[in-house]
Amino acid sequence: MTVLLALVIAVGCNGGGRGGDQSKRSTSNPGAAKSTDPDAGKVVASYGNKTLTRGDVMAELEKLPGPSRAYVAAPERKRQFVENLILNDLLFEEGRKEGLDNDADIDSQVEDLRRRLVVQRVMRKFQTPPDISDDQVRKYYDDNQTLYAGTQVRASHILVKDEETAKQIAADLQAHPEKFAEVAKEKSTDTATAQ
């Protein structure tokens, strides 16, 4: 690690290096090659038999969340970011030489991460509210007016133990509806609502 870190620091990020005949650092962002930045192909670091271009660095920066991107904007932090990219690449190559890129445990973890990312993407899709026009809202309302009817009904009841008593009370109340509250207090067995 110390030797690799010393190599990274010695190489630096000044873009000097060994010219354009070196192989480019491979990047997982295929859009990096399509950059509209005229300096995207400018070499910012050379290490081993690879080069790191401004386009490569910009593509990696784009992968960062906004706050992290702002943090890395300072020149010294950007330099550290580039050094970390180089160090990660060197360490990955070392791991590949040891066959770690074909390790079953790593493959399992990658597959687990893939599943989680797919689930996150689907959840994000479900959390995005659909675009609904005013015309669609009006049509839904017109088709379902009974759901939005403003009619309110107030219901009261008198609970009794047998049907005969219920029929007697119903007949009395049809003749004298104003006595409902009085009859409820006197005859209802539902003590929670009788009052």
Which among 48, 57, 55, 50 is positioned nearest to 83, based on CA atoms? 57
Using 70 as the pLDDT threshold, list the residues of the chain that sit under it.
1-35
User: Would residue 134 count as lying in a domain?
Assistant: no
User: Would residue 137 count as lying in a domain?
Assistant: no
DSSP conformational letter for 18: S
DSSP per position, 154-190? -------SSHHHHHHHHHHHHH-GGGHHHHHHHH-S-
Q: By residue range, what is the domain housing residue 29?
A: 2-104
How many independent structural domains does the chain possess? 2
pTM of the predicted model, to two decimals? 0.44
User: Would residue 94 count as lying in a domain?
Assistant: yes
Instruction: Give the pLDDT confidence of 58-105 residue by residue, as tens digits.
Output: 999 999 988 888 888 888 999 999 999 999 999 999 999 999 999 999
Q: Does 94 lie in the same domain as 6?
A: yes
Q: What are phi and psi of 32, to 5 degrees?
A: -60, -35
User: Would residue 195 count as lying in a domain?
Assistant: yes
